[in-house]
Amino acid sequence: MFESISNPRLTRIMMTSQRTYRDWFKVMGLVLIGWGLVACGSDEGNIGNQNAGRLQVTPSSVTFPQTPPGDTSTQKVTLTNVGDSTLTVFDMGLKPADGESVEQLDLKGVPDGQFEIEPGTESAKTFDIEFTPESRGSYNAGVIEIRSSDTRFSRDEALEIDVFTLENQPQLQVSPSPVQFPQLTPGESFTRTVTVTNIGGADLKLYEAPSISGSDAFEIASVDRSFPVTLGPVSGAEQGGDGTFELSFEVTYEPTSNASDTGDIVFKTNEDRESNADDPTTSRVSVEATADTPCLRVEGGRSRTLGSVPIGGSTQDVIRIENCGSKTVVIDQIDLVKNSRDEEFELDLGDRDGNDDGQLDDPIEFQSQGESAQFEVQYQPTAEGRDQATVALQTNDPVQPEVTLDVTGRGAEGSCPSAALQAKVRGKSAVPKEQVAAAPLDYIILDASESSDEDGRIVEFDWRVLDKPEDVDIDLSPPSEGQGETDDERVFRLLTAGEYEIGLTVKDNDGFVSCNEATVTITAIPNEQVHVELTWTNPEDPDEQDDRGSDVDVHMVKMGPGKWFEAPYDIYFQNQGSGDDSGIWNPESPSLDIDDTDGAGPENIQMDDPARCQWYAVGVHYYKQLFGTAYATIRIYINEELVYERPNQPLRQGGEFWDVARIHWPTGRVIGHDRLYPSAPREESPTITEAMESSGLCTAENLYATSQ
- pLDDT tens per residue across span 321-376: 888 766 788 999 999 999 998 999 999 999 999 888 889 999 999 887 778 899 99
pLDDT for 496 equals: 83
pLDDT for 239 equals: 37
Burial 500-517 (b: 16+ CB within 10 A, else e): bebbbbbbbbbbbbbbbb
Angle at 183 between CA 177 and CA 187, to 5 degrees: 115
Instruction: Report the C-alpha gap between 556 and 643 in whole angstroms.
Output: 17
pLDDT for 6 equals: 36
pLDDT for 145 equals: 93
- pLDDT tens per residue across span 462-493: 898 888 887 677 888 776 544 445 688 999 88
pLDDT for 337 equals: 92
Residue type, 22: R
pLDDT for 706 equals: 53
Question: Tell me, what DSSP letter sits at residue 610?
Answer: P
Homologous superfamily, domain 422-524: Immunoglobulins (2.60.40.10)
pLDDT for 107 equals: 95
Residue 318 has φ and ψ, to the nearest 5°, of -85, 120
Counts for the chain of helices (H) and strands (E), in that order: 3, 45
pLDDT for 599 equals: 67
- Cβ pair 464, 504 in contact under 8 A: yes
Strand 125-131 and strand 73-81: the pairing is antiparallel
Instruction: Report the C-alpha gap between 466 and 108 in whole angstroms.
Output: 44
Instruction: Report the C-alpha gap between 232 and 239 in whole angstroms.
Output: 9
- 3-state helix vs strand vs coil in the chain, percent to 5: 10, 45, 50
Indicate the domain borders of the chain: 2-44, 55-168, 173-211+255-412, 422-524, 530-706
pLDDT for 240 equals: 38
- Please state which CATH class domain 173-211+255-412 belongs to: mainly beta
Low-confidence ranges of the chain (pLDDT < 50): 1-50, 235-243, 481-484, 707-708
Question: Which CATH number, 2.30.130.60, 2.120.10.30, 3.10.520.10, 2.60.40.10, labels domain 55-168?
Answer: 2.60.40.10
Q: Which CATH architecture has domain 530-706?
A: Sandwich (2.60)
Instruction: Report the C-alpha gap between 632 and 686 in whole angstroms.
Output: 20
Whether 173-211+255-412 shares its CATH topology with 422-524 is answered: yes
Angle at 548 between CA 542 and CA 549, to 5 degrees: 70
- Cβ pair 496, 440 in contact under 8 A: yes
Q: Can you give the pTM of this predicted structure? A: 0.50
pLDDT for 133 equals: 84
pLDDT for 486 equals: 63
